[in-house]
Amino acid sequence: MGRGPGNGGAEWIRGAGRDADVVMSSRVRLARNVAGVPFPNAAKREDRRLVVDMVRAATAEARPAESTLWVDMNECPPLERSVLVERHLISKEHAKGAEPRAAVISGPEEWLSIMVNEEDHLRIQVMRSGLCLSEAFAQIDAVDDGLERRLTYSFSPRFGYLTACPTNVGTGMRVSVMLHLPALKITGEIDKVRRAAKGMNLAVRGFYGEGSDAVGDFYQLSNQTTLGKSERDLLDDFERRIVPEVIDYERHAREALMKKRRVVLEDKVQRAIGLLRHARMLGADEALQLLSHVRLGVSLGVLDGVDVTGVNQLILDTQPAHLQRVAGREMDQSERRVARATLVRERLAE
Amino acid sequence: MGRGPGNGGAEWIRGAGRDADVVMSSRVRLARNVAGVPFPNAAKREDRRLVVDMVRAATAEARPAESTLWVDMNECPPLERSVLVERHLISKEHAKGAEPRAAVISGPEEWLSIMVNEEDHLRIQVMRSGLCLSEAFAQIDAVDDGLERRLTYSFSPRFGYLTACPTNVGTGMRVSVMLHLPALKITGEIDKVRRAAKGMNLAVRGFYGEGSDAVGDFYQLSNQTTLGKSERDLLDDFERRIVPEVIDYERHAREALMKKRRVVLEDKVQRAIGLLRHARMLGADEALQLLSHVRLGVSLGVLDGVDVTGVNQLILDTQPAHLQRVAGREMDQSERRVARATLVRERLAE
């Protein structure tokens, strides 16, 4: 693969860090706007251009990370944009549209990304492997400080940071974790978790984010309210109380499977690796579901010869844009199914 | 396995003979009744006992095959009876009931079986591998002659052999083939074959015979009318015209898959072997379906390291009674699923 956005490794792929058996990744995101310029949805083309230039200059000066890649979205080919979406570095919406907008991808390992002129002027994101919200917050806080020294943010002493959507007003922060909950799915307890999460005003989304169903037992859990709470309170509550409760629940389900329904568990895991090693055509959703069961098997030590990093890497690399980038050309769905199966077979060969 | 009915190999398992890529086995069956004794459904217990004794004596004298095992159904344990059903040596109905009835299992390789007091006093069957109806007919004709020298059959010069069910009157003969039609299933053309068969007054049944759905792409095709045609005409029409037409149709479908949809074909075959080699629980129908795809792959040379005989043997050995006989005990459905998966893994290990 050549140099370009999304060509390095992603930090979360490592599958390391605290509670990484259940928590794929942690994300903290801040919404910020430049004072005196209309929010992107109300901004004129010149305003948006201005914001892009201001952020570019501020980023160049602040040097928020070791390496920083500036991506002008208007010059970025559609396939590359989709790669960034699949890597959770920009949103689907940000990949669309023709208005001036940009993305900053920073590393090593893409731990930082900034969308410029998405719903807000700046959407800053730090993504890390495992349950790692406090550390991610410390990182994003430093980045935010560095930028705030060079940009005047839209801020109200009464409400806090002002944002395009009222649900983000206040801290402008959203925290989320990508959870892997295969055992709760197998035992059928997942619906209880979903209901409980909704009762706590948390959003539960699928692997592909907003509007996506839970495919392959991956669930993105995020806070919904940002107004009226401090960043630390929000984060502590999420990291120390809510997420650990879900983790415990999943681990209990895994233990129960290991003790009482071992053969059911092994059947799922073995069927998954058998299909992945043999299929000649694989759909994206099927691949994700099978990789989920393999990941479970690796976590529980019932599957040898495969490691979590390899599985995580496949979860990323089997997505449509990633497949096409490796192939160096656009492929229709049936070509992708064949390419996906081929890639998976090669990587998981015994 | 100890000695007993159904403990030897079955001839059709070899997967040899003419057109054996499509024709699993050929069967010819004759319905005969002893003159002067009511048909079994109308017979008293003493009548049935008498028929059993007469056939036993006639068989002992006629020695229709190299080895002959006499099975008194009333003394045969339920599991052993089910084994005989699974081997297509007796019918489900014959395995049930408490009235005096018997079975003759003759070999080598169980090519001959006789049910005594099923719907008719005698149901003589010859089963062979591949498309082999003429030879099977010659064999059954000789067996029939040998028995007729020692038993007086119920016969009408006008109607021919009299049978309990009017559809069998005449020759008393039924011919059938077990066909393996996976390609027609994959291409969706199987329904045309079913309709055409019904149009020709042929019965299309599943692998388990009367009342069973087609599972695993195995279809039993048999003639329906026996009255008003000679045995040779019936048999020739079936063996030389009807069955070859279906065989051609299936082979064309296989060729089309090989040429135009090779990846679809290989995907089915590889997924099947992958699941069979990895699953920890396997239902009977799923196993049969997967073995069907593996058999197709072997026939077409797209799967190495597996042979048709091994696949045929698994088709037989993965059935419930066979599994339990090997285990030496009764097993509930979930135990059987585990035992089936274990057996399949061992046999198909790379």
Query: What residues does B128 pair with on adjacent strands?
Result: B26
Q: Can you tell me the distance from the alpha carbon of A150 to that of A115, in angstroms, rounded to the nearest whole number? A: 17
Disruptive mutation site among B264, B271, B294 for chain A (greatest number of A CBs within 10 Å): B271
Q: What does the H/E/C string look like for chain B?
A: CCCCCCCCCCHHHHCCCCCCCCEEEEEEEEEECECCCCCHHHCCHHHHHHHHHHHHHHHHHHCCCCEEEEEEHHHCCHHHHHHHHHCCCCCHHHHCCCCCCEEEEEECCCCEEEEECCCCCEEEEEEEECCCHHHHHHHHHHHHHHHHCCCCECEECCCEECCCCHHHCECCEEEEEEEECHHHHHHCCHHHHHHHHHHCCEEEEECCECCCCCCCCEEEEEECCCCCCCHHHHHHHHHHHHHHHHHHHHHHHHHHHHHHCHHHHHHHHHHHHHHHHHCCCCCHHHHHHHHHHHHHHHHCCCCCCCCHHHHHHHHHHCCHHHHHHHHCCCCCHHHHHHHHHHHHHHHHCC
Disruptive mutation site among A266, A269, A280 for chain B (greatest number of B CBs within 10 Å): A280
Please indicate if any CB of chain B lies within 8 Å of the CB of A275.
Answer: yes
Please indicate if any CB of chain A lies within 8 Å of the CB of B264.
Answer: yes
Q: How far is A265 from chain B (nearest CA, A)?
A: 9
Looking at the partner chain, which of B267, B274, B280 has a beta carbon nearest the beta carbon of A277?
B274
Query: What residues does B106 pair with on adjacent strands?
Result: B68, B112
Residue found under tokens 């806070």: A223
Per the document, the length of chain B is 350
Residue at A350: amino acid letter: E
What percent of chain A clears pLDDT 90, i.e. is strictly above it?
Answer: 80
Decide if B274 and A279 are in contact by the 8 Å CB cutoff.
yes
B-chain CB neighbours of A297 within 8 Å are none
With H, G, I as helix, E, B as strand and everything else as coil, classify residue A77: coil
Disruptive mutation site among A270, A290, A335 for chain B (greatest number of B CBs within 10 Å): A270
Decide if A341 and B267 are in contact by the 8 Å CB cutoff.
yes
What is the rounded end-to-end Cα distance, in angstroms, of chain B?
25
Per the document, the length of chain A is 350
Decide if A278 and B279 are in contact by the 8 Å CB cutoff.
no
What is the model's pTM? 0.92
Note the pLDDT tens digit of each residue in A238-288: 999 999 999 999 999 999 999 999 999 999 999 999 999 999 999 999 999
Please indicate if any CB of chain A lies within 8 Å of the CB of B273.
Answer: yes
Q: How far is B250 from chain A (nearest CA, A)?
A: 23
Q: Quick check: ipTM above 0.95?
A: no
Note the pLDDT tens digit of each residue in B13-37: 888 899 999 999 999 999 999 999 9
Q: For the residues B211-231, what does the mean pLDDT come to?
A: 79
Looking at the partner chain, which of B267, B277, B338 has a beta carbon nearest the beta carbon of A281?
B267
Note the pLDDT tens digit of each residue in B120-166: 999 999 999 999 999 999 999 999 999 999 999 999 999 889 999 88
Please report the pLDDT score of residue B1 as a whole number.
33
DSSP line for A251-297: HHHHHHHHHH-HHHHHHHHHHHHHHHHH-S---HHHHHHHHHHHHHH
DSSP at A238: I
A-chain CB neighbours of B293 within 8 Å are none
Disruptive mutation site among A260, A265, A267, A344 for chain B (greatest number of B CBs within 10 Å): A267
The residue among A260, A241, A246 whose CA lies nearest residue A218 is: A246
Neighbours of A144 (CB within 10 A): 22
Contacts by A41-47, CB closer than 8 A, 24 or more apart: A41/A119, A41/A164, A43/A117, A45/A99, A45/A100
Q: How far is A273 from chain B (nearest CA, A)?
A: 8
Going residue by residue through chain A, which has 350 residues, state the pLDDT in tens, using 9 for 90 and above: 334 566 667 888 888 899 999 999 999 999 999 999 999 999 999 999 999 999 999 999 999 999 999 999 999 999 999 999 999 999 999 999 889 999 999 989 999 999 999 999 999 999 999 999 999 999 999 999 999 999 999 999 998 899 998 888 888 899 999 999 999 999 999 999 989 888 888 888 888 776 666 788 999 999 876 666 788 888 999 999 999 999 999 999 999 999 999 999 999 999 999 999 999 999 999 999 999 999 999 999 999 999 999 999 999 999 999 999 999 999 999 999 999 999 999 999 98
Looking at the partner chain, which of A266, A270, A275 has a beta carbon nearest the beta carbon of B271?
A275
Residue range A11-252 in CATH 3.30.590.10? yes
